[in-house]
Every structure is written in C-alpha cells, then in structure tokens.
Amino acid sequence: SSDQLIDVEGVHAFQPPGEYDFRGPCPGLNALANHGYISRTGIDSVFNIMTQSTQVLGFGIDTATFAGVLGCFGADLYDPTLPLSIGAAPPANQTIGGLLGSAPSGLDGTHNQFESDASPTRGDLYQFGNNYDVQNSFFQELFNLQPQSSSANYDLTVIYQHIQTRFQQSVANNPYFFYGPVELVASVATHLFVPRLMSNHSATQPDGYLNGEVLKSMFGMSGPDGTLTYTHGHEQIPANWYRRPFGDEYTLALVAPDIANMALAAPNVFVVGGNLNGTNSYAPVDLSDLTGGVYSAASLLEGNNAACFLIQATMILFPSAIKGLQTIVDTLLAQLATLTGILGDLNCPQLTTINSSLLEVYPGY
Ligand code: HEM
Ligand SMILES: *[C@@H]1O[C@H](CO)[C@@H](O)[C@H](O)[C@H]1NC(C)=O
Ligand SMILES: *[C@@H]1O[C@H](CO)[C@@H](O)[C@H](O)[C@H]1NC(C)=O
Ligand SMILES: *[C@@H]1O[C@H](CO)[C@@H](O)[C@H](O)[C@H]1NC(C)=O
Ligand SMILES: *[C@@H]1O[C@H](CO)[C@@H](O)[C@H](O)[C@H]1NC(C)=O
C-alpha cells in the first residue's frame, strides 16, 4: 500500500495555477500539474504527460498512448518529446520552460478530436463557448446521485446514470450536439475514468471507493454541498489517496469490457448521431451504412462489439494519429498488450472503412 500512496507534500504539494499557467478540460492532468508531477506551467512533453498519468493516476500505458495521440493530433506524433499544453494553446511567441521549439498545441483546441460534447462535467463548446471548465450544475447533478453520508460511493452504476443525463441534456440544449464514433468514445471513456481512476484504494476495497470528498477534491469543487462551485484549474489529489494497484493499471484490456458493460446498462447513449436541425432533433446514423454492414445498432450491444467498433472507428478516422501509435508504445517500452493484440483478444468483426460522408449532415460535425 505504501507504493500506492501518492505523495502530495514537499515538491508535490498542491499549488493552484498562477496567472500564466495553463489548465484545461482534463481534471487528471490539471491535478498532475497542480502537484508538480508534470510541469506546473501546464505545458510539458507528451511523453511526460503520458508517463505521469500511468505512474500517479494508474492509467494503462496503452490507454495513455491512445489519449496522448488524440490529444496532440496535428503535432508530430512520432516525437512524444514535443510539448503539449493541457489547456489553451499558448501564443506562438511565448517561451516556456525551455521546451519550446515549435508552438505547442493545446487540449482545449481538440474539439471533435478528443474534447467532445456530453462530457461528465465540462460544457459543450458550441453551447457554452467554454469546453474546459466544470459547469457547476453538471457536477452538482452527479454529486446529488449519492446520499451525503458515509455510504456514498460514486461507482460505475452512478456513472451509468450520469452519462444518460448528460446525453439527454446535450440533445435538449445543444443545437450543434454531435456524437460521432470518436466523440462517443471520448464521452464514454472519460465517464469511466471517474470511478476507475479517481477512486481511493485499500486492502478492503481493492477495486476502489470514491466518496464525495475525494470526488469534489479531484474536480476542484468547493463550497456548501448544495451549491458546489468550481475554481478554474484547482483540481487536487487529496491527502492519503491511494491509486490503483501497480500491475492493475487501467489498460485497454480493462477499458474494453467496461465499455461493453456500459453499453448494456445505458444502451440509449450508444447511438452514433447528432442534432440535425436545432435542439431535440437527434438523429442516429445508420450504423450499417456507416460501417459497410459490419455493425448494426443491435449488434453493437453484443459481446465486445461496442468496444471493438469505437476503437476501430477511431483508428480509421484518425489514421495519421494512430500510425504513430505502435512507435510511441514501443518508445514507452510498453510491457502490456498492443492495440492490435487487444483487438485480437476481443475477437472483433473486421471493420475496414467508415463512410464519414454520412456524418456531414450534422452541423456539429
Ligand atoms: C495522456 C493523458 C491524458 C490526456 C491527453 C487527457 C485528455 C483529456 C481531454 C482532452 C479531455 C476532455 C474530453 C471531453 O471533452 O470529454 C479529458 C477529460 C477527462 N479526463 Fe483526461 N486525459 C489524460 C489522462 C487522464 C487521467 C490519467 C485521468 C485520471 C483521473 C483523466 C481523467 C479525465 C476525466 C474524468 C475527464 C472528464 C472531464 C469532465 O468532463 O468532467 N484523464 N481528458
Ligand atoms: C506575444 O504576442 C502577443 C500578441 O499576439 C503580444 O501581446 C505579446 O506582447 C507578445 N509577447 C512577447 C514576449 O513578445
Ligand atoms: C483511502 O482509504 C484509506 C483506507 O481506508 C484511508 O485511510 C484514507 O483516509 C482514504 N483516503 C481518502 C482521501 O479518503
Ligand atoms: C429546421 O427547423 C425549422 C424550425 O425550427 C424549420 O423551419 C426548418 O424547415 C427545418 N429545416 C429542416 C431542413 O428540416
Ligand atoms: C457513403 O454515403 C454517401 C451518403 O449516403 C453515399 O452517397 C456514398 O455512396 C457512400 N459511399 C460508399 C463508399 O458507400
């Protein structure tokens, strides 16, 4: 357990961001910066961001790589030493920590590439004009799903409820709501990250336990429980917090069955599509047309198909991003299954093309 206890003292003491530091849509990365695990400026190498995500927060190396390549798409993906901003892209003329060689890109600017609609707590870009701060009401709705008592545990079943609420809210309030395959995977994965990566771990609860205090701290929320308020970039790892056990990092081999189970528990959010003409005009894409008949709405809920489809569709829609994946995984001396290995284990149907012209009817695309 001493290995799992995360140091939040001394050089790793919490310090809120300064005026010129960057923070963005990812609570995990904001917290890593606030504790000096990645640069407190919020600009660090993709390599260091991925490494610290695995070391401190228990991300699997392959999951981190998947996130890393989607997060810096547009940068030179063969070089994970390049700097990335975890928030806005800094002005081209700003030099930061000697890392600058080319202008870093920023996670705020990855809309429809990683940053997506229907996030757990962040607002939809075209509805709020801000896709990086917590919208207090979204967090409050999540928080209220458990009683304010010692029994509160924000586990998977709670997150199944929350993702359905968030999906419905985007349908009802965001005229440009777009939920293509990549956006769906971003929303589903980041919802899963809440219980899977923010939970506290102990011998009696080896799978983790996420109470209200830890949840609030990890999301930078404070104030009375009925009117919780976000402070930009103040995500904090609480004292006495224990990460996932070493050797049980959240790899794609664990993410995939979680996606499959979520698809069974919340099938209504596993529908690729978007609002076509204003709010409440959600129309699904015909999955069979999109995938050349390989998947259908019904088959998506069978076996590992939901995970298969999402991972394959991401690989097809971001070929240049994924091309570098194996190289980066190798560079990171990946000890775990490669993506190809994962897809093999999942026994996926073979998907070779996505007809992305079917997505062009959605204004949010
Ligand atoms: C390579 C490392 C990572 C990258 C590039 C990354 C990037 C991102 C991005 C772009 C988003 C916004 C997605 C959206 O709009 O839905 C996001 C959200 C999120 N990330 Fe990360 N992330 C990384 C690691 C982590 C880790 C280690 C955690 C562990 C706690 C984490 C937890 C979350 C959560 C919970 C959200 C949802 C935020 C919300 O809407 O409430 N991420 N991340
Ligand atoms: C960088 O450019 C901005 C305008 O884009 C300007 O306001 C700022 O003074 C410049 N900073 C430096 C260090 O040149
Ligand atoms: C995590 O769990 C351990 C063991 O139950 C406990 O001592 C510790 O206070 C918990 N940490 C937090 C932040 O709740
Ligand atoms: C979109 O909705 C408006 C009313 O909200 C309607 O006038 C218009 O015909 C609709 N357009 C299409 C293409 O359905
Ligand atoms: C892709 O979909 C569009 C729009 O429905 C259609 O016109 C086109 O023929 C499809 N392309 C392929 C290769 O199936």
In tens, the pLDDT along 208-230 reads: 999 999 999 999 999 999 999 99
pLDDT of residue 341: 58
| pLDDT at 74 > cutoff 60 | no
CA atoms of 295 and 236, how far apart (whole Å): 41
Ligand 5 proximity of 268 Cβ (cutoff 6 Å):
no
Ligand 1 proximity of 84 Cβ (cutoff 6 Å):
no
Res. 344 pLDDT band, cuts 50 70 90: low
Average of pLDDT values for 40-69?
A: 89
Q: Give residue 89 CA to ligand 2 midpoint distance, Å.
A: 14
323-353: b or e for each residue (b if 16 or more CB lie within 10 Å)? ebbeebbebbebebbbbeebbeebebbebee
pLDDT of residue 21: 95
Q: Give residue 277 CA to ligand 4 midpoint distance, Å.
A: 6
**Residue 51, CA distances (Å) to 16, 71, 94, 236, 320 in order:** 22, 14, 25, 19, 22
Q: Give residue 281 CA to ligand 4 midpoint distance, Å.
A: 10
Highest mean pLDDT among 36-45, 57-66, 307-316: 36-45
Cβ–Cβ under 8 Å, residues 180 and 272:
yes
| pLDDT at 335 > cutoff 60 | no
Computed over every residue of the chain, the mean pLDDT equals: 87
| Backbone torsions φ then ψ of 157, nearest 5 degrees | -65, -35
Phi-psi region of 319 (alpha: psi -120 to 50; beta: other; left: phi over 0): alpha
Give nearest CA residue, ligand 1 atom 28.
Answer: 28
| Backbone torsions φ then ψ of 282, nearest 5 degrees | -65, 125
Res. 161 pLDDT band, cuts 50 70 90: very high
| pLDDT at 40 > cutoff 80 | yes
Atom of ligand 1 nearest to the CA of 121: 41
| pLDDT at 147 > cutoff 90 | yes
Query: At 178, which helix (H) or strand (E)?
Result: strand 178-179
Average of pLDDT values for 127-154?
A: 96
Average of pLDDT values for 103-115?
A: 77
Q: Give residue 25 CA to ligand 1 midpoint distance, Å.
A: 7
Ligand 1 proximity of 125 Cβ (cutoff 6 Å):
no
Average of pLDDT values for 6-35?
A: 97
Ligand 1 proximity of 28 Cβ (cutoff 6 Å):
yes
| pLDDT at 64 > cutoff 80 | yes
Res. 354 pLDDT band, cuts 50 70 90: confident
Give pTM, 2 decimals: 0.91
| pLDDT at 126 > cutoff 60 | yes
In testing the pocket of ligand 4, which one of 176, 276, 277 has its CB within 8 Å of the most ligand atoms?
A: 277
| Residue 183: partners with Cβ closer than 8 Å, 6 or more residues away | 112, 116, 117, 118
